[in-house]
Amino acid sequence: MSTQTSTFPPEKATRVNYHDGILLASPDFQEEQLYHRGRLAAALSRLHGFGTIAGLKVDRTPPDAGPPTQEEEVVVNPGIAIDRAGRLIEVRKKYCLRLQKWLEHEAENADDSLTPFVTGTERYLVADIFLSSVEFPQGLRPSFPEPAADATDAAIPARTQEGFELKLVVRDCDPETARPALPAARFTAKPATYRALLDTIYASYSDAPGEPPEYPDDFDTTAVFLSRVLVRLSDVPATDMSRHPSNEVMIEDNRRPVALPVDLLATLLPTS
């Protein structure tokens, strides 16, 4: 599985100039694809921002809520989103994570410095769900070998499938009474005047928008934040990663970024 992602630099706005008799090679067609994908990504990100367009609700299925053997799960429902690079990411079916198995794995591999969130006497393991764009090479076909390569049976992927990756990432709460930052809105206030609206629009085009606040260190900063999951831990001792007898789990998505469809925005307009 490839985890590389394509980027669309704003200066990449050149396309192939087709003409009879011109010799075209694979870089020309790759540049053509990059141009159209980049312009689409720029339009989506500038017009709609980033975040959930539809679906992608995160639920929790308690243990034994269905069949007697059913395990406790965190479920990401189907949906579609725009990431911070302007790419569309579509999840077409439900994806489930076995929460207890995940927690046991994280407890076993947790760094000694990992700090749960503490409120009063209650302790919680904090984790965030992210959706990332991933490309999968498919369909090997015979090909000319790369320059200076010694190969008589060279093959390359003939197709690239656009997919996704879901991650539930443990977050360190240091200090222990503060949770990690959540996504910040692009626009934080409604302009009161047309002058203020213009100033907001002028300021929204920046070559250095700043580092998004919601990501762990060394993480894909184009990923889409979906929800925060808090798992209640035993109250004592402070280093214990075992669960509280209540099995309490909270899923918080009140700060999830959304990219509102235009027809939904239209319902907010006055009708008379």
Q: Give per-residue pLDDT as tens, 12-39.
A: 678 888 899 999 888 888 888 888 888 9
Q: Is 195:204 a contact under the CB 8 Å cutoff?
A: no
Q: Which two tokens mark 183?
A: 């996504």
Q: Is 91:79 a contact under the CB 8 Å cutoff?
A: yes
| Rg of the chain in Å (alpha carbons) | 23
Question: What per-residue confidence (pLDDT) applies to 148?
Answer: 63
Calculate the CA dihedral of residues 265, 268, 269, 271 and round it to 10 degrees: 130
Which positions of the chain have pLDDT values less than 50? Answer: 1-6
Per DSSP, helices labelled H in 118-211 are 194-203
Question: What per-residue confidence (pLDDT) applies to 111?
Answer: 78
Question: What per-residue confidence (pLDDT) applies to 7?
Answer: 52
Q: Is 228:246 a contact under the CB 8 Å cutoff?
A: no
Question: What per-residue confidence (pLDDT) applies to 1?
Answer: 32
Residue range 49-79, pLDDT digits in tens: 899 999 999 999 887 755 555 688 999 999 9
Question: What per-residue confidence (pLDDT) applies to 90?
Answer: 96
Q: Structure pTM?
A: 0.86
Q: Closest Cα partner for 76 from 60, 56, 101? A: 56
Q: Which two tokens mark 20?
A: 């009879």
Write out the E strands in 179-248: 224-233
Question: What per-residue confidence (pLDDT) applies to 235?
Answer: 86
Give the integer Cα–Cα distance in Å for 244 and 142: 57
Helix (H) or strand (E) holding 249: strand 249-252
